[in-house]
Structure 1
Amino acid sequence: MSTIYLIRHCETTGQSPEAPLTPRGEEQAQRLYTQLFELPITHLISSPYRRALDSIQPLATALKLPVAQEDDLKERRLSAVPLDDWQDHLRRTFIDPDYTCPGGESSRIATKRITRVVEKAL
C-alpha cells in the first residue's frame, strides 16, 4: 500500500507563480524537511510554482531526490478578471463545486485535475 502526503506550500509573498517564500515560509520549509525526512519517501511531485518548489526543496536536497513538476498541480484559477468581492466568490466555490467565475475553474474541475495526478502517482 502506498502513502501519499499532500502538502500545501509554505507562507509566500504573493499569489504570482514566481512569488518566493517569506522568511517565515523558509523556516516552515526547513521544519517540513525535519518532520518528513525519516519517512520512506521515494518520489516528490510539485506544482511548478516557485512557492511549491521552494517549500519542498530542502527535503528533496536531503533525500537526494528530484522533484517532478506537474502542471496539473497548479492552483485553481478563481477568475480571469479581478473581483472586488473575490472572497464571496471563493466561498461560493466551496458550497457549490460547479460554480465558476468568468474565465475561472470550478472546484469540481480542479479536484478532477489533481486527482488524476494522484492516481498517476499511485
Structure 2
Amino acid sequence: MTNLYMVRHAHSIYTPDEMGRPLSKKGLLDAKQIINLLKKEDIHIAISSPYKRAFQTIEGVSNYFKLDIQIEFELRERTLSSYPIDDFETAITKVWEDPSFCLKGGESNTIAQQRGIACIFKILEKHKGKNIVIGTHGNIMVLIMNYFDAKYGFDFWKNLQMPDIYKLSFEDTNLKSISKVLVSELL
C-alpha cells in the first residue's frame, strides 16, 4: 500500500502574494501539532506545493523524519482568477457548480483536477509502498479526492479545517480508502 497524507495548510495571513503567503501565529502553532499526529505513521517522503503556507505546514513533520521536502508545482492551489474577486463566495460556488467554467485567467475545476491528478499518479508511480506527507491546499486537495469519489465536492470543501489531513491509501493507482486524520483532537 502507498499512503498519501494530504495536509491542507494551516491558517495563513492573507496577502495577495500567493507564493509567499505565510502561516499566521495560530497556523504555526497548529502546524507543530501535525507532528504529533503523523509521527507514528513512519513517513518516508515529504512533498509540498511551492506555496510557503503549505511548505510551513509540513516542515515540522519533514524535520522529525529527517526528510527534505520535494516541491511539486502541480500541487499548488487552483487559480480562481488572475484579477481580484469582489464576491469570493459567488465565484467559488460557480466554479464548483460548473466544472468547465473558469473566470478570466483562472482554472476550471476540470483543468485544476487534471493537473492535480497527473501529479498524484506521478507520485504513486515513483514512490510505491511509501508513506508520503503532502502539503497542499483545500481546493486542489478536494478536487483530487473528488476524482476518485464524487462525494468529495463543494460542501465537503466548505467544511474543511485549517489544517486538515486526509489519508488516501492506494494499491498501485487504485484508491482503496480515504480516512480523516483527526486534527481537531490536538487543536
Q: TM-score normalised to the size of structure 2?
A: 0.63
| Structure 1 ranges of 4+ moved more than 2 A | none
2:25 to 23, 35, 38: 23
C-alpha displacement at 1:86, in angstroms? 2.7
Q: For residues 49-68 of structure 1, what are the alpha-carbon distances to aligned partners after superposition, in whole Å with 9 as ceiling and x for unaligned?
A: 11011111111101001100
Aligned alpha-carbon RMSD (Å) = 1.1
Partners of 2:54 and 2:87 in 1: how far apart?
A: 26
2:58 to 56, 59, 66: 56
C-alpha displacement at 1:83, in angstroms? 2.3
Q: TM-score normalised to the size of structure 1?
A: 0.95
1:75 to 70, 74, 77: 77
Higher RCO (Cα < 8 Å, 6 or more apart): 2
SS of equivalent residue, structure 1 residue 68:
strand
Which amino acid is 2:92 matched to? Answer: L
Q: For residues 26-77 of structure 1, what are the alpha-carbon distances to aligned partners after superposition, in whole Å with 9 as ceiling and x for unaligned?
A: 1111111110011021111100111011111111101001100011011111
User: Which 5+ residue runs of structure 2 have no aligned equivalent?
Assistant: 125-187
Which amino acid is 2:79 matched to? Answer: R
Partners of 2:46 and 2:117 in 1: how far apart?
A: 16
1:110 to 97, 109, 112: 112
Partners of 1:20 and 1:107 in 2: how far apart?
A: 25
Please state if 1:33 is matched with 2:63.
no
